[in-house]
A and B are shown apart, each in its own frame.
Chain A
Amino acid sequence: MTDQQSPRPFARRHHWIVRLTHWATVIVLAGLIASGLQIYEAYARFGNRGGPYFVSPFDGAQFPHWSRLGGWLAGALNWHFALAWPLVAFGLLYLGYVVRSGEWRALLFRPRDVRGALEMAKYYLHLRREHPPQGKHNPLQKLAYTGVIALGALAVLTGFAIYKPTQLSWLTALFGGFQAARYWHFWIVWIFVGFTVMHVILVFAVDPASLRAMLTGWYRGRFPSHD
């Protein structure tokens, strides 16, 4: 019975460092976003006082009570500045691992993945019947996973630009100034949220076995575990 249901053997897919940093980031990022939405409330627009203001659909918005952490501005700042360090630490631990182990090769989106990404997009858009052959991850996955790491780095950098706009004025200027850095820092949140929604949908729709792999490390799904 068991053998018939599981034609593929279990494969070790995710090292404990990958699993730890993955789930820790989920929790830390949730806390950062929730405290960030509380911080946003103190000045719910972007631009110097008296204008001009950046275009934003959330001008003057207050986010629902359940989505905010900290109770008030200072409480939220305490959470935000405390959780920022674990985000950086887990990010560096993850990057250190994928670089040292060589796993970055299966994850980093490179120019040669462009053609494969287009084929994959065609498949999803029903312009192509067969699933293109792939290694551990398909090129669109590589694009998403590379992109979300870059997004994390941008979140940290824009965060520092807002945190110390005078001492790190070169960094703040790089993002177009203090109010522009706030603006990008805020938009990164919605890209993270969008990524997470798509990520969860695709896990359940395409490869539910990958959830178990991210929890236990063992994978028995329909995709290869190595390139």
Chain B
Amino acid sequence: MTKRQTPRRQDAKLHEVDRRAFVKLGVAGGLASLVAACGWDGGRLLRPGLLDISRVNDWVGEKILFSPTRLARTYSTAERSAMLPSYFISTMTPMLEDPAAWRLRVDGLVARPLELSLDDLMQLPRLSYTVKHHCVEGWSAIASWHGAPVSAIVERCRPLQTARYINFVSFDADYSNGWDMASAMHPQTILAYGMNDNPLPAAHGAPLRLYSPTKLGYKLTKYLVSMTFTGR
């Protein structure tokens, strides 16, 4: 009698667990499809968590994967892509009213603030390279760029000990990007005034844009007006 009952009891219990697990699974599946159907960005509940993880990923990228000395692969000019799309925030291509009056302001936590004309920048050491451009959207294109290394500016403005980031600001709807010092000091990070052997076109950020093959396109601020050293 007892022996017979044992498996039956076990059976009943298992059915119960089975059903409970199945209902849970259904609820999870239902939620998942609801989430997908809404094009959900995480909402008020989950989005902050996703952004926290994103910050952890940034840390992994900057402190573990990034090398301040490893150089990105360069290509021959014959490998240039037929086209490289250009993006800006404003509705029309941002252009200066008086290009001759344009200056790059270097300020913030520096011993020596600077105001540099395009001629001043061209006096600095010049770096040219042909590299692959990676867009966050997933496309890529090869192009040549030339300009002054950011490290040459840093040498001249002498940032304070407390400076840890540089904020690059554009005249394109005040678009700006923050850079950590190690990325900015990478030997291939330049302030580019030329592209594909020509002066920088308006569509690609004339008169001056930030360029580096180690970062995605949206980090490479175009239409520069200032770089501010911050401790943030």
Contacts and interface: CB of A to CB of B under 8 A. Distances in A.
Contact of B134 (A67, A69, A165): A165
A169 B36 contact: no
Contact of B142 (A3, A48, A70, A75): A48
B54 interface: yes
For chain A, the bracket of interface size reads 35 or more
A140 interface: no
B50 A67 contact: no
Among A30, A49, A212, which residue has the most Cβ atoms of chain B within 10 A?
Answer: A49
A183 to B, nearest CB: 11
A218 interface: yes
A218 B214 CA distance: 52
Given A66-B33, A216-B14, A73 B136 contact: yes
Contact of B73 (A23, A71, A169): A169
Contact of A71 (B14, B39, B137): B39
Contact of B81 (A27, A48, A72, A167): A48
Interface in A62-101: 65-73, 75, 77-79, 81-82, 85
Contacts, number: 131
Nearest to A186: B138
Interface stretch (A35-43, A110-118, A194-202): A35-43
B222 to A, nearest CB: 18
Nearest to A50: B82
Contact of A50 (B8, B32, B41, B81): B81
A51 interface: yes
A181 to B, nearest CB: 11
A70 B214 CA distance: 26
A169 B37 CA distance: 36
A49 B214 contact: no
A224 B82 CA distance: 61
Contact of B36 (A50, A51, A66, A179): A66
Interface string B41-54: 11000010111011
B51 to A, nearest CB: 7
Interface stretch (B64-72, B112-120, B122-130, B172-180): B64-72
A178 interface: yes
B228 interface: no
B171 to A, nearest CB: 24
Interface in A126-171: 162, 164-169
12 contacts: A6-B7, A10-B14, A48-B132, A51-B82, A67-B36, A71-B40, A72-B41, A82-B50, A167-B65, A179-B140, A182-B138, A215-B21
Interface of B: 4, 7-8, 10-11, 14, 17-18, 21-22, 25, 28, 32-33, 35-42, 47, 49-51, 53-54, 57, 61, 65-67, 70, 72-73, 81-85, 132, 134-142, 213-214
CB-CB nearest 10 A-B residue pairs: A50-B82, A75-B41, A42-B137, A43-B138, A71-B39, A49-B141, A78-B50, A82-B53, A215-B21, A43-B137
